[in-house]
Chain A
Amino acid sequence: MDDFTQQIFPRSVMQITVLFFGKVADTLGERQRVLDFADTDMSLFTLRQSVLGTAFASGALSRERVLMSVNQGLTQEDRSLQAGDEVAFFPVFSGG
């Protein structure tokens, strides 16, 4: 954490940028959210539940069809997060 960030956010707060793409963005009606967490021991599993739990429960999104990345690299739900990480949730790809 650099000096500037520390001045704005005390050490106990972790800021995470979350991006949404494709059907996930459509379902949530937003493409980006910046979240502050008091708990710095945060896994992607917990973050996903807090952001997408309702959409999974209603069937609007399927847990198996939503992929996730941290800092633009595909990853799994047991990944732990650090302040400043860029997390994204999106459906399986469909290019070509």
Chain B
Amino acid sequence: MATVETLLLPQALDGQTLYRRFVEANRGAGAIVTFSGRVRGETADGAVSHLWLDWYPGMTEQSLTDIAEAAAARFDVLALLVAHRCGEVQAEDEIVFVAAASSHRRAAFEAADYLMDRLKSEAALWKREIGEGFARWVEPTAKDADDLKRWT
């Protein structure tokens, strides 16, 4: 069974540090794929200064664990790491970081892709975009729903 680690972080997420730690813990892996998601500074409504990511203590952590464990069961991976921010996240800061280690590249690519598609729609988080003169709660898009269907 693969090693699975999930982190819900109210403070800064540092993907580079997580990456180095992940590599160190998986020296035998032939393939490591990572994804770093960042807060876009621009949307259709204008410039975003920061996000507020509301969360449900306990349930949110469990949702990250459930998604990561499903990925570990589905793909031939050695280890998975999911780190997600909560609370206030500034524009251009990292909001999510995932890493997948495997013996071969395909499973690592697919596991990272799957993790992100599920996190977008199934992580128990609620995103609010705040910018100059506007603030709005973000709902998942039709594209997010389509992305999720790729794995059913």
State the A residues within 8 Å of B (CB).
19, 21-23, 25-26, 65, 69, 72, 88, 90-96
List 10 A-B residue pairs with CB atoms under 8 Å apart, sorted by A's residue number.
A19-B56, A26-B137, A69-B59, A72-B56, A72-B58, A88-B59, A90-B124, A94-B125, A94-B137, A95-B84
A76 CB to nearest B CB, Å: 16
Q: SS class of chain A's interface: helix, strand, loop or mixed?
A: mixed
A46 CB to nearest B CB, Å: 22
Chain A residues near B120 (CB-CB < 8 A): 94-96
Chain B residues near A25 (CB-CB < 8 A): 54
State the B residues within 8 Å of A (CB).
37, 53-56, 58-59, 62-63, 84, 95-96, 116, 119-128, 137-140
The 5 closest A-B CB pairs, nearest first, are A22-B126, A95-B123, A96-B120, A95-B125, A72-B59
Q: Select from chain B the residue with minimum beta-carbon distance to A88.
A: B56
Q: Select from chain B the residue with minimum beta-carbon distance to A73.
A: B59
Chain B residues near A93 (CB-CB < 8 A): 63, 121-126, 140
Known: A25-B54, A91-B126, A92-B121. 9 other contacts (CB 8 A): A22-B128, A23-B137, A69-B59, A88-B56, A93-B140, A94-B121, A94-B139, A94-B140, A95-B125
How many A-B pairs have beta carbons closer than 8 Å: the answer is: 66
Chain A residues near B122 (CB-CB < 8 A): 93, 95
Chain B residues near A96 (CB-CB < 8 A): 37, 95-96, 116, 119-120, 123
Chain A residues near B56 (CB-CB < 8 A): 19, 21, 69, 72, 88, 90
Chain B residues near A19 (CB-CB < 8 A): 56
Contact B137 A92 (CB under 8 A): no
Contact B59 A94 (CB under 8 A): no
CA distance A88 to B138 in the complex (A): 19
Contact B138 A94 (CB under 8 A): yes
With A23-B126, A69-B59, A90-B126 known to touch, is A95 a contact of B139 (CB < 8 Å)?
no
With A90-B126, A95-B125, A96-B37 known to touch, is A22 a contact of B137 (CB < 8 Å)?
yes
Q: Select from chain A the residue with minimum beta-carbon distance to B62.
A: A72
Chain A residues near B116 (CB-CB < 8 A): 96
Q: Select from chain A the residue with minimum beta-carbon distance to B59.
A: A72
